[in-house]
Structure 1
């Protein structure tokens, strides 16, 4: 019986939460002042020195709220910093599944901000084996290390532990099933899904190169299996690694994408339209800032942007057309696509509207109206799971069986 102790809450979480609360209070105050300013505009009263700001006694009140919030935030951080010193975090103690799920969801929504601000809730990128992170700074000791590696990449707001699910009393984990059948070692990537996909791809490429140098036995074959955003991170990593002439892509034999939005996801485009619509009137314009809380990783899902050159850094929230340059599948690698739809058969509605609830069927299969953007997955390298949702792909024994047929 395992005696591993997990912690749901740590002292460091209190200071991280205080930072988020301070930022949220500043943001809410700016929204309220912006709406107040819009109301004053209707009666012709002069505004403050900057757009969306008030003046006079009203402006003084809002500035006072910001000042008090800043002081309270600094005071709370100072007190909680002393609490951390008294109860230092045990970095060897793993997160509980509940804490990890909370951090993963928060990272997906605003992980780019957490990383920039040095918030302790930001997840570092790690390769996990048997539930433990690999230390890639020194030679690795891995019992029964295989020369064949299977690396699993999770999707947005998720983590490596969520590859395991229970289906009617049966535990399903594609990685474990494939490893047992194929004699390979499964590794699981854990990463901050709120960062730009290309940035995660570059770091993953570097970690794979370090892994290749420190694996206990010479690596002969590598297979990548990505779910949702994980498939885009995998494609980005391969592209950047090849461009930089790293060694590990020469050993890459398989690239499998499960429900990956190769050409974008409608929900992100809906968020983009929400931002545009809120900005059409002076009364709702201050609320548009709420739509700008979406992380860089989420906005990259608008069109499935996997390269740094694909994104517009000036304002990623504005309505822009698909400005990606075509990026074909990597040559010499067996590439496979699993898509899902909640429908019972393929149809125009199933392909363009339903999909798996998050990703359209055509996007998951790499299909595109522009031939230059079309991903040429061979017909026998495509498979559709019917009556299956986006997350259902992770717990489907039928998906495991299909992966085994391909990778054997």
Structure 2
């Protein structure tokens, strides 16, 4: 067995020696057998346990410390920072992002070039594609990528040094306009930012109503608003007099309203686990918190559900304090737009000379891919190669925790009744009505009473967080706090007051 006290290079040399010995034993073992009537009979001069020793030597050659470290690096690849993105971080991350963009485009151009050259010759196969990299043209593309990475990394290093040693004491926060831009970038390519340790990657944090990071003592009841894809904690306050958080605080002055900010390009299940840990830390640091209400818009509702799933699975204390879960237009069973995008990408991948363009679809974030079927569990993607999710019928169910009052809000662009198939399918232009209400024929259906479901007609997906009718309904549910028997009531249908709607 390789000694763990030897230096790393010595352990490698020892391992190589053992591998050479194993190869020699393999040769001796093969010669020591002869075939008789289709069966291999071992020679008596060679021990029967030679093969067993060979397998044991291979197992012993594994450096377990290195393996554990590798697995830890994969699992702990979390946010690059625990502080908000500053102005210096923005320019540093932008420099690296520009470089990575050139590299990605270079790879797509190379893929198209390779296909155009090889396909007409009938040589577009795995063998020739692998040989391409060793050829003259492949080396030129490789040189371009290498030079761009070197330039980008050096530029980012210079900006990092400038940030750490010159502007460290006077770090300027991002203006709101740039903050929104950074959140859009995170939604589109947030997992790429994390994997490349880009300073533009947004850490998960809680903010107060005045836009500052939450660090004060809390007690009593709190409500946490979770934004959707490519949005930020500022999105809830984008329009004056339409602030849901302000309406909640006005109706319940003793309730503290907080806003979650997170990287929407990451896997939803990773964000859910992180949110669960954040809430546990919040409760540990503020034991006087009596109740937690979660309100999630779009992806924010899925992240909240994922946090509840893992909080219950890990038997964390914070989940016992959750009173209400309200989701606004969340694609519990997937978003139509992402399914269409994936379908188009598959078609392009099968077209001659255009298949390489499908790589453009692979650049979208893992968070967007998870929206295809509303995947909120690690099991829906961890066992797969590449950046994909299990098909809809094979994803793992994630039922709602018991004891928590759950309310689902859906919206529809058309001012016609839900029974219309066109209204149901079109939904709010991004999410169908059935998906937003958690309705499904299979085991994935979320069993929420009809009285806990509301459909708002004439409201699009983005306006769910600013609609007066939606705001009034959410406030009503939170003020009631489970005292009324909504479960015995019919489903809520809300129509624009200024329109004559046919029901």
Unaligned runs of 5+ in 2: 1-83, 480-503
Match 1:334 to one of 396, 401, 405: 405
Q: 1:72 matched to which residue of 2?
A: 151
Which moved further from structure 2: 258-267 or 173-182? 173-182
Q: 1:3 matched to which residue of 2?
A: none
Asked if residue 283 in structure 1 is aligned to residue 353 in structure 2, the reply is yes
- Give yes or no for contact 1:212–1:219 (8 Å, CA) kept in 2: yes
How many residues in Structure 1 have an aligned counterpart in Structure 2?
A: 389
Match 1:366 to one of 412, 418, 438: 438
Measured in 2, the distance between the counterparts of 1:380 and 1:318 equals 33
Q: CA deviation at 1:54?
A: 6.1
Q: 1:174 matched to which residue of 2?
A: 244
Measured in 1, the distance between the counterparts of 2:402 and 2:119 equals 61
What aligned pairs does 1:26-45 form with structure 2 within 5 A after superposition?
A: 26-44=103-121
Residue 225 of structure 2 aligns to a residue whose secondary structure is strand
Q: 2:162 matched to which residue of 1?
A: 83
Measured in 1, the distance between the counterparts of 2:263 and 2:271 equals 8
Q: CA deviation at 1:318?
A: 7.5
- Give yes or no for contact 2:276–2:307 (8 Å, CA) kept in 1: yes
Measured in 2, the distance between the counterparts of 1:260 and 1:52 equals 46
Q: CA deviation at 1:205?
A: 0.8
Residue 88 of structure 1 aligns to a residue whose secondary structure is coil
Q: 1:246 matched to which residue of 2?
A: 316
- Give yes or no for contact 2:375–2:389 (8 Å, CA) kept in 1: no
Distance of aligned partners of 1:247 and 1:63 in 2 relative to their CA distance in 1, 3 Å threshold: closer
Distance of aligned partners of 1:92 and 1:399 in 2 relative to their CA distance in 1, 3 Å threshold: farther
Measured in 2, the distance between the counterparts of 1:262 and 1:232 equals 7
Measured in 1, the distance between the counterparts of 2:285 and 2:401 equals 25
Q: 1:23 matched to which residue of 2?
A: 100
Which moved further from structure 2: 124-133 or 62-71? 62-71
Q: CA deviation at 1:111?
A: 0.7
Larger Rg: 2
Q: 1:400 matched to which residue of 2?
A: 471
Measured in 1, the distance between the counterparts of 2:181 and 2:165 equals 25
Distance of aligned partners of 1:362 and 1:318 in 2 relative to their CA distance in 1, 3 Å threshold: closer
- Give yes or no for contact 1:201–1:237 (8 Å, CA) kept in 2: yes
Match 1:210 to one of 281, 288, 305: 281
Q: CA deviation at 1:279?
A: 1.2
CA offsets, 1:195-254, max 9 Å, x none? 111111111111111111222x61221111000001011111111111111111111110
Measured in 1, the distance between the counterparts of 2:243 and 2:170 equals 27
Q: Following superposition, which runs of at least 4 residues in structure 1 exceed 4 angstroms of deviation?
A: 45-49, 89-93
Measured in 2, the distance between the counterparts of 1:318 and 1:220 equals 37
Match 2:197 to one of 97, 118, 124: 118
Taking structure 1 as the reference length, the TM-score comes to 0.89
Q: CA deviation at 1:367?
A: 1.0
Q: 1:147 matched to which residue of 2?
A: 220
Q: 1:301 matched to which residue of 2?
A: 371
Match 1:375 to one of 446, 453, 457: 446
Measured in 2, the distance between the counterparts of 1:316 and 1:74 equals 25
Measured in 2, the distance between the counterparts of 1:214 and 1:85 equals 30
Residue 133 of structure 1 aligns to a residue whose secondary structure is coil
Residue 289 of structure 2 aligns to a residue whose secondary structure is coil
- Give yes or no for contact 1:335–1:381 (8 Å, CA) kept in 2: yes
Q: CA deviation at 1:45?
A: 8.2
Measured in 2, the distance between the counterparts of 1:337 and 1:380 equals 10
Measured in 2, the distance between the counterparts of 1:234 and 1:270 equals 25
Measured in 1, the distance between the counterparts of 2:258 and 2:232 equals 13
What aligned pairs does 1:40-51 form with structure 2 within 5 A after superposition?
A: 40-44=117-121, 50-51=129-130
What aligned pairs does 1:216-295 form with structure 2 within 5 A after superposition?
A: 218-295=288-365
CA offsets, 1:183-206, max 9 Å, x none? 311011111111111111111111
